[in-house]
Every structure is written in C-alpha cells, then in structure tokens.
Amino acid sequence: MRLISAAPYRDRVVHHALCNVIIPVFEPTLISDSYANRWGYGTHRAVQRFTQFARSSRYVLQCDIRKYFPSIDHGLLKAGLRRKIKCPKTLWLIDQIIDHSNPQATVLEYFPGDDLLTPLAHRRGLPIGNLTSQFFANVYLNGFDHFVKEQLKTKKYVRYVDDFALFDDSREQLVQARQAIEAYLNQLRLKIHPIKSQIVATHHGVAFLGFRIFPAHIRVQNANIRRSRKRLRKLQKAYAQGEISATMIDQSIQSWVAHLSHADTWQLRQRIFADLVFARQ
C-alpha cells in the first residue's frame, strides 16, 4: 500500500511553474536511460530498452529501493539541487515545497556512522503524486546513475524512478556491482529491497513495469490483467447506471489496448473483449 497525495489546485499551479524553470537546468545532466517523468521517455520506452538489454545479456541485476519516496533525505536533496540552482528566490520556493511535505510512512533505517538518534535527526519523505516530488526523485538518484555508468562502467543499465536494472553476461560481475551499489546508496541513506532485488538469468523471463520479458516474446503480468478486468467491470456498472458516457468508455479501453499492444497480447485481447458488453439498465 502507498499513500498518494494530491496537492491543492493552487499549489499544483506553483509546482508546474517551478518545474518549467528548473527542469531545463537539470535535463542535460540526466542520463539517456533514466525514463521516468521526462518528456519523450516514459514506461514503454523503458520497457523497449529493458527488452533490448535482456535479449542480449545472460543475467540481470534487478533492484528496487525500499520505501523510496518516504526515505528521500531532505538535507541531501537540497544539497543536490543547490549544485545547479543558485537563484535565492527559487531556492526559497524549493525549500518551502520540500519542508511542507505532508508526513509520509515512517522509515527507521541505520547507516554506517549513525548513532542511536541519527535517523530521528534527518527529516525525510516526499509525497507521491506531486510533480515536484517526481522531479526531485529523479534528481536525487542522478548522481547514482552516473556512478553506475561511469564508475562501474555498466553499459547496459535502465532506471525508472526507484526500479533499476544492470545487465551483464557475468553473474560475478553483477554480484560485485550489487555490493558497490549498496555502498553508494548508503551515502544517500537508501537501501535496496532485500527480496525484490536479485540476480536472475534473463532466459527465465524478467518482470519490469507490468510486463514480463522473455527472449522471444513479452507478456503482461497476471496482476495487471486482474486489475484491468476489475476496472472493466466497474466501467460496465458505471455505464449501466448512467454515470459515464460511451465516449469515456471508448477512451479508457483504447488507452488500455494501446498499453497491451506493447506486448504479445493479440489472443489475450480477443478473450477479454469477445464477451464484453456495455448496456444501460
């Protein structure tokens, strides 16, 4: 479960205005294989790149940062933003947004050099759902991206928010990379998920952003199919009760079909839509 926050409308206007100013400053510093919350990138381009790397590599180190948004350290985030932003008024506004983030899930993690009270002295956490939070989350891991590409010399690397993957033909190389990654993330007061982060052989199929990538085909994960079927039933009920229009249904279904088209789902779509009927009561 995740807490999704929606800022008041007037605040969202300010968030967009701020991002219009600061995103162009940071965009040239981001690596080309960071795909979240960037114009012209997105989930489907990330899946395409992931598929390209998976089909040309024997192993993948796939990682997920544990409780990423609640763990983002405010002090470290501000320091990272100040490396590029120098305008005092802009920095004041950034600080106001960060400092007034609503409380997030409690994260109590200890890192090398901490004493008993150190975690309590660090204010942390950004609300999922704000445009500024999405941008700040990208900037927070930008240095990590460059570390993976330039220090670890990893040529095949993909990141989408806090999900990232490194590909190689050597399992031992990825074992060593994981150790280096954990040490680097300690500096950001982050930890990778102990269960979700693992090294697997790519020929077994690898899950990423709702898809499962195999050497010869791509499938949609079962959990996504179940959620979509449930959403279709809700649409049927809402249409039957006159709560939504046929146009709204068509837009929703077309969006989902477009998403499915990025995998090998022709037969799946035939099964789902063969008996799908929308009727008024």
pLDDT 10s digits, 12-37: 999 999 999 999 999 999 999 999 98
Q: Residue 271: its pLDDT value, please?
A: 79
- H helical segments located in the chain: 9-26, 43-54, 68-71, 74-82, 88-99, 118-121, 131-140, 142-146, 171-187, 222-240, 246-260, 266-274
Q: Residue 101: its pLDDT value, please?
A: 85
Q: Residue 235: its pLDDT value, please?
A: 86
Q: Residue 166: its pLDDT value, please?
A: 98
Compute how many other C-beta atoms are within 10 angstroms of the C-beta atom of residue 125.
22
Q: Residue 107: its pLDDT value, please?
A: 80
Q: Which residues contact 187 (CB under 8 A, 6 or more apart)?
A: none
- Residues with pLDDT less than 70, the chain: none
pTM: 0.85
Calpha distance 69→52 (Å, rounded): 29
Q: Which of 193, 186, 135, 139 is nearest to 164 (CA)?
A: 193
Q: How many CA atoms lie within 13 A of 82 on its CB side?
A: 11
Calpha distance 130→136 (Å, rounded): 10
CB 51 within 8 A of CB 218: yes
Q: Residue 136: its pLDDT value, please?
A: 96
